[in-house]
Structure 1
């Protein structure tokens, strides 16, 4: 189904960009059905995720929440590693869809391109989605946010909505085996633009780790 949706997204682009978005959304919805009826996942959303031009910061525990994005929002602009755009077919579909490449080694030029793409997406009313930990984190761990979050937050000047997710319980990272269980999205309080870096980072970090056990927060703060 993933390959079908990627190929369909590429083929449909010359016909209609809306068709590209539709194929990607179907992919996400099919994944949700598989999770529910095959893997035995119950998915709970605690709070509201409005489809508006703000910066969403998600906890990142597995592939689950990345695949879910086109189902959670109509046309999200997700920040994704540059290397993913090199995957045959999928990378083309991602580019056409409007994901935002993140090239951590690209210097100032890459940063400007990323910010310009993010601002263009906001201007079209699209929500931005950032996994500020930079990689998939096993459930129960709470590492500091990557430094890139602070720059994006400051330069874009938009509110942040943090989202905790405990997908690693049932959908562990880098493992083929999945387990039945409840996966919860917990939406935190909206964080306004313009806060000092330390305050913004602390509030986002605490909110996206709200579903972790308390000892994980203490360990994460100690390693910060």
Structure 2
């Protein structure tokens, strides 16, 4: 059985990258002519494709809980694997991400990241990186929509603990937007450094909105407590022993 699941996983991963190229190339004229909205449509189409094929090819079903944000908000999310990026983007109508600068030069991904208004950050420069991130996040060309930041700054394996980065607090403080924390358990089924995809129910849970105006220190404590508590609950529900 495990051998068959590995085979299914390899086939799933292969088609996922083939379809990334297909969506990117076929959709490029449409995105260039239609602008940001068209590029978002192409990206969401691809994300929905991967979520759909994950269900029947490797047995990873998807579910959203809570109220999916549709207005202008900051989403501070848990990040466990590539799949939570896809699930979040498939759900929100006008999403964009804070992302590491190296991805700008990635074929296909970099093209569309620029077109939908993603904000590249040089994570090695700390203070300068935060300043640049804030300036780009307020760029009028990409105003409006849902800005997603992974609050721990990187992928964190299911069940592991890492500190939350100040970037999520700086954006909340500077932009004056409400924040929607987002929890997940996707790393239980789609590990960050593994080929095997395990069947199960992958969940992204959008937690109650936090109004703007909270002191940054208090805000950081609140989002960490909410996201970690909800994610631990989802992972325990998926069968992972926490702690």
* TM-score, structure 1 as length reference: 0.86
TM-fit CA distance, 1:168: 0.7
Deviations, residues 122-174 of structure 1 (Å, cap 9, x unaligned): 97431111101111111112321012222222111221110110001111112
| Root mean square deviation, CA, Å | 2.5
Rounded to whole Å, the distance in 2 between the matches of 1:28 and 1:75 is 13
Rounded to whole Å, the distance in 2 between the matches of 1:190 and 1:93 is 28
Flag the structure with higher helix content.
2
**SS of aligned partner of 2:205:** strand
Mapped pair 1:12 → 2:30 = yes
Is the 1:61–1:138 contact (alpha carbons within 8 Å) kept by the matching residues of 2?
A: yes
Partner of 2:118: 99
Mapped pair 1:86 → 2:112 = no
TM-fit CA distance, 1:89: 3.1
| Count, aligned residues | 218
Alignment gaps of 5+ in structure 2: 1-18
Partner of 2:219: 200
Partner of 1:55: 74
**SS of aligned partner of 1:15:** helix
Is the 1:7–1:93 contact (alpha carbons within 8 Å) kept by the matching residues of 2?
A: no
Is the 1:2–1:27 contact (alpha carbons within 8 Å) kept by the matching residues of 2?
A: yes
Deviations, residues 166-198 of structure 1 (Å, cap 9, x unaligned): 001111112111100111222222222222222
Is the 1:85–1:91 contact (alpha carbons within 8 Å) kept by the matching residues of 2?
A: yes
Select which of 167, 170, 178 maps to 1:148: 167
Alignment gaps of 5+ in structure 1: 220-224
